[in-house]
A and B are shown apart, each in its own frame.
Chain A
Amino acid sequence: EDAAEESNVSAELIALRKRLVDEWNAWRIMRQKETGEKGELKQESEDKEEIE
């Protein structure tokens, strides 16, 4: 029984850690996309200036 309880706890912990990593990675992907887009926008406006 004890062993079963223990493995339950660690299963919970594993689930928690997985959730924390997923949240962290989701936030990182969002920010990286934004900075990537900003870079592209910058490039576009630079191109435009050249045409003008």
Chain B
Amino acid sequence: MRPILLQGHERSLTQIKFNTDGDLLFSCSKDSVINVWYSHNGERLGTYGGHNGTVWTVDSDPSTDLMISGSADNMMKLWQVSTGKCLYTWEFPTAVKRVAFNEDGTQVVCITEQRMGYQCAIRVFTINRTEPTKQSKEPLHMFNPIGSKATVCAFTPTPNVIITGHESGKVALFNVKSGEEIENNERAHGDVITDLQLSKDWTYCITSSKDKSARIHDTKNLMVIKTYTTETPLNSAAIAPGRPYILLGGGQEAMSVTTTSLRQGKFETRFWHKVFEEEVGRVKGHFGPINTIAVHPQGTAYASGGEDGFVRVHHFDESYFKAKPYGDIEIMD
């Protein structure tokens, strides 16, 4: 499984994301730039320039026509994927930490940071797909989540319900129309939730946390289905479709990284068995903590983005698909 090294960022990666077909990979970084790459060979297809600060988050719509990004420059931008043109810019009082499309690409949910007297806010925007340069400046819904600020979010299969992960380790379901917290699990994690990724059918999700664990939650009722306990703070967790694995990435804080580990590229993506909650393997390579992991929607490859500024794309070998580390029992996705 030889990795393809994507060198197109000058600073650390913040989020990477495959499009629906998996032929493209979007990456955003502290260098203010978003790149898009061909996932099969690592060739850079283009760059989306226009943000003036760390780009924290990116997502593409189901048809890969549109891409949305959120940045520390307090802006959220809508882009035309094929041309690199910025179609619309929303501006907020604080940084945009997370964005996500809904199932049909008609809505976007975003989290803005709590800072300078402004509360953390969650907004839902309707996306005008017929005239994408003409968007509504005002959100369709907006609310301030009570208690701990939200760090990550996504739409769920239930209309108007989103799932959020919080600084305190809480996971919650919100009705976006009323801003009401429908359900919560205050003790989902013991520290900041750093990532939240949905399963293929959106009926469950995985969260990662600085508390060194990752968990699978039912997106309908927040029931904790599985827990993966590691020995390092986690920055990202992803679900591998078609195989019973989840992928975890993290590492020590940049401050405490020793020169030895920096030199050796020791930072690893950890593969865990999804159902048995046991570690099954590690893939080394990054020269700093792994900030973000994404798995190809068909489960044929995965990519990791590091504090070291590199994206590494790995196409799985034949052996990965044949391996049955725990026997012949069929495990559903």
Residues of A within 8 A of B (CB): 14, 17-18, 20-21, 24-25, 27-29, 31-32, 34-35, 38
- Residues in B whose Cβ lies below 8 Å from that of A29: 332
Q: Do the beta carbons of A28 and B275 come within 8 Å of each other?
A: no
Q: Output the least CB separation between B261 and chain A (Å).
A: 34
27 residue pairs of the A-B complex, CB under 8 angstroms, read: A14-B327, A17-B275, A17-B276, A17-B326, A17-B329, A20-B275, A21-B275, A21-B329, A21-B330, A21-B331, A24-B225, A24-B274, A24-B331, A24-B332, A25-B331, A27-B218, A27-B225, A28-B332, A29-B332, A31-B201, A31-B203, A31-B204, A31-B218, A32-B332, A35-B157, A35-B201, A38-B157
Interface SS majority for chain B? loop
Chain B interfacial residues counted at CB < 8 A: 17
The answer to the question of B220 belonging to the interface, with a C-beta cut-off of 8 Å to chain A, is yes
Which B residues touch A32, using CB under 8 A?
A: 201, 203, 332
Counting residue pairs across A and B whose Cβ atoms lie within 8 Å, the total is 40
When distances are taken between beta carbons in the complex, the residues of chain B under 8 Å from A21 are: 275, 329-331
Provide the bound-state CA to CA distance between A32 and B202, in Å.
Answer: 10
Complex CA gap A30/B204 in Å reads 12
Contact assessment for B329 and A18 in the assembled complex, using a CB-CB cutoff below 8 Å: yes
Chain A residues positioned under 8 Å from B201 (CB to CB): 31-32, 35
Interface: B333 (CB within 8 A):
yes
Question: What is the 8 Å Cβ interface bit string for chain B, positions 239-274, against chain A (1 contact, 0 not)?
Answer: 000000000000000000000000000000000001
